[in-house]
Amino acid sequence: MENKAEIEALVNEIIGRVADKWTMVVLEALEARGTMRFTELSQEIPEISQKMLTKTVRQMERDGLVSRKVYAVIPPKVEYTLTALGHGLSEAFCGVWIWAEKNHAKIHEARRKFDVKAAR
């Protein structure tokens, strides 16, 4: 059984990872489209470099969020699929999406008020 400090460290590490812009974008793409080839992910997320996409999916695979299947063909074919852990994380962050959708006008108004006040 893991102790509280180990669990806290894991939670902090996972939050840091998923707070990373690219992990959430890849998670969202795979949740929406299902299994995707590396090139499809790259096309779906054109603003990510190949190096960063590779790093992101490798870390997601290490954390058990995606599974990677390599086909022995030329050119190489690699597919990524969300695991049960990945789907669970996606569901957890769906709550954040719903909250943001519900409160976006309030947040924009608060930011506008702050900016007006700060400009004085």
- State pLDDT tens for residues 96-113: 778 888 888 898 899 999
- pLDDT at 14 (0 to 100): 76
- Pull the structure tokens for residue 25: 């974008």
Could you say which architecture CATH assigns to the domain 4-119? Orthogonal Bundle (1.10)
Q: Are 14 and 63 in contact (CB under 8 A)?
A: yes
Prediction pTM value: 0.75
With beta carbons less than 8 A apart as the criterion, state whether 65 and 110 touch: no
**Domain boundary assignment for the chain:** 4-119
Q: For 17-37, what is each residue's pLDDT tens digit?
A: 777 889 989 999 999 999 999
Tens digits of per-residue pLDDT, 65-83? 999 999 999 988 999 999 9
